[in-house]
Amino acid sequence: MATAVKQRAEGSADEASPWASIIYDALMAADVRHMSYVPDAGHSRLIELLRDTPGVTSTVLTTEEEGIAIGAGLWAGGRRSVLLMQSSGVGNCINMLSLLASCRMPFLTVVTMRGEWAEFNPWQVPMGRATPQAMEAMGVRIVRVDHLDDLAETMSAVTAMAFDSDQAIAVLLSQKMLGRKKWVAK
Amino acid sequence: MSGSTEMGGGLDRRSAVATLLSGRTDLLVSTGLGSPTYDVFAAGDHDGNFYLWGAMGGAALVALGIAQAQPDRPVAAFTGDGEQLMGLGGLATIAISGAKNLSVVVLDNGHFGETGGQLSHSGLGVDLSAVAKAVGFPVVKTVTSQAELEETREAIGKIGAGPGFYVVRIANGETPRALPMRDGSAIKTRFRAHLGLLAS
């Protein structure tokens, strides 16, 4: 996996993950200035872009729920945050999402989906399948992106909904759009 | 409660927290659900208090977010051993954050006080200060006396070498209930208004 991450981060990184710069531009336009993340191959280019941006702070997490609490504190303190994760991490967030519902706080997460398209690892399937229901059960609105052409407008819309209308929103990037996970040894 | 500073082998939690917050100026505070939320409220309600009534394991991480958003203000989380034990991984996240304005104060009585007083991992031998050292907090102190409380008050009230981790040894036992506001939306809005942010 580390090799796959490295490959995506090199050379044709933007061609390998064209969604990254689209999401990045929308986050910048919406004045998002913090990123919490659990490392993920699909997000590796976006993580790199945000980490390299002056004025954007970032926090690497041990588990995804931490990003909910940190993002709540950031919002309380006046800074907008985004949480980047994979669908396998959504279940880890459940109780901490009560913080957002109880405080009616904005929340934005961008989730790379696993277990739904050309998935070779059966262990990814249960949480991938449960991701929308798990989020919705805790009051998080789901917005799916299946086509790259829709991504820019969707990101613009969800940042407004989250930060201007105090909504908790998860953008699910479909595995079909992201493409098959590349397991390259060399 | 007795009037003494030591009670049953630990500090009185209410007077310990009152000491830590006395003379408070620009300190912002988050609190962990259960008794630490009551203790901080009992020391004096404040618009810069973010009370948690749930989201167990999140108090110190909420404080980290506040500290990152407000780097010129000192920020402290007041929580209990049980609440922090649910967020042990978060201590690693906080330790590497480099947030010099952040302190985590764990009121440690070795018990889950809110749920019937069962022994916690801390009470069964887990040393939270050793955990904090192991994950790399640059400042780790165990507080067992009034003099150390006063030193800690000075430390958490300013931007330091942090993040700092302070284990305050408190006595196990009942304290009178002191219940702050529970409406999370109101708590959030009041906190943001205190910082001069748009109350959205």
Q: Is the pLDDT of residue A9 over 80?
A: no
- Average pLDDT on A166-180 reads 94
Q: How far apart are alpha carbons B178 and B164 in whole angstroms?
A: 27
Tell if the CB–CB gap between A76 and B191 is shorter than 8 Å.
yes
Contacts of B76 in chain A (CB under 8 A): none
Nearest to B93 among A62, A98, A164 (CB): A62
**Please, what's the largest Cα pairwise distance for chain B?**
46
Q: How far, in Å, CA of B110 to CA of B107, rounded?
A: 9
Distance from CA of A45 to the nearest CA of B (A): 22
Cβ contact, residue pair A78, B69, below 8 Å: yes
Q: What gap in Å lies between CA A118 and CA B152, rounded to an integer?
A: 55
Record the tokens describing residue B126, joined without a space: 């887990």
Distance between CA atoms of residues B187 and B47, nearest Å: 8
Provide the mean pLDDT of chain A.
Answer: 92
Q: What integer pLDDT is reported at residue A183 of this predicted model?
A: 54
Categorize the per-residue pLDDT at A182 as very low, low, confident or very high, splitting at 50, 70 and 90: low
Neighbours of A11 (CB within 10 A): 9
- Alpha helix stretches (DSSP H) within A10-64: 13-16, 19-29, 44-51
Residue B48 has a pLDDT of: 98
Report CB contact under 8 Å: A99, B188. no
What domains are there in chain A, each with its CATH number?
2-178 (3.40.50.970)
Are A79 and B68 in contact, with CB atoms under 8 Å apart?
A: yes
User: How much is the CA Rg of chain A, to the nearest whole Å?
Assistant: 15
Q: Could you tell me how far CA B105 lies from the centroid of its own chain?
A: 4
With cut-offs at 50, 70 and 90, classify the pLDDT of residue B88. Answer: very high
Q: What is the pLDDT of residue B8?
A: 53
Q: What is the pLDDT of residue B173?
A: 87
- Contact between B2 and B132 under an 8 Å Cβ cutoff? The reply is no
In this prediction, residue A8 carries a pLDDT of 44
Residues found in chain A? 186
B37 Cβ contact list (under 8 Å, min separation 6): B31, B51, B52, B53, B180
Of the listed ranges A9-18, A52-61, A84-93, B15-24, the least confidently predicted one is A9-18
The answer to whether B59 and B34 have CB atoms below 8 angstroms apart is no
Using CA atoms, how far apart are residues B56 and B109, in angstroms rounded to an integer? 17
Name every chain B residue with its beta carbon within 8 A of the beta carbon of A65: 57-58
Q: Which residue of A has its CA nearest to B58?
A: A69
Q: Specify whether the CB–CB gap between B27 and B77 falls below 8 A.
A: no
Query: How far off is chain B from A80, nearest CA to CA, in Å?
Result: 9
Q: Where are the domains of chain B?
A: 6-194
Which residue numbers of B have CB closer than 8 Å to A's CBs? 28, 30, 50, 52-59, 61-70, 87, 89-90, 92-93, 96-97, 184-185, 187-188, 191-192, 195, 197, 200
A115 and A124 Cβ atoms separated by less than 8 Å: yes
| Pairwise CB contact (< 8 Å): A73 & B56 | no
Helix H or strand E segment including A103: helix A97-103
Question: Rounded mean pLDDT of B61-84?
Answer: 98
Confidence of residue B73 (pLDDT cuts 50, 70, 90): very high
For A64, the 3-state DSSP assignment is: coil
The residues facing A82 across adjacent strands are A35
The CATH number that domain B6-194 falls under is 3.40.50.970
Cα separation, B183 vs B73, in Å, equals: 25
Please give the Cα distance from A22 to A8 (Å, whole number): 16
Q: Is the pLDDT of residue B6 over 70?
A: no
Interface contact flag, A76 B50, Cβ < 8 Å: yes
User: With bands split at pLDDT 50, 70 and 90, how would you rate the model's confidence at A13?
Assistant: confident
| pLDDT tens digits, A109-159 | 999 999 999 999 999 999 999 999 999 999 999 999 999 999 999 999 999
Of A62, A77, A103, the CB nearest to B69: A77
Query: Mean pLDDT throughout B158-184?
Result: 94
- 3-class secondary structure, A37: strand
CA angle B152, B129, B83 (to 5 degrees): 90
Inform me whether the C-beta atom of residue A104 falls under 8 Å from chain B C-beta atoms.
yes
Mutation choice for A interface testing from B56, B66, B192 by most A CBs within 10 A? B66
Mean pLDDT of B180-198: 95
CA distances for A138 relative to A95, A97, B122, B139, angstroms: 8, 6, 31, 37
Closest to A41 measured CA to CA, from A106, A114, A94 = A114
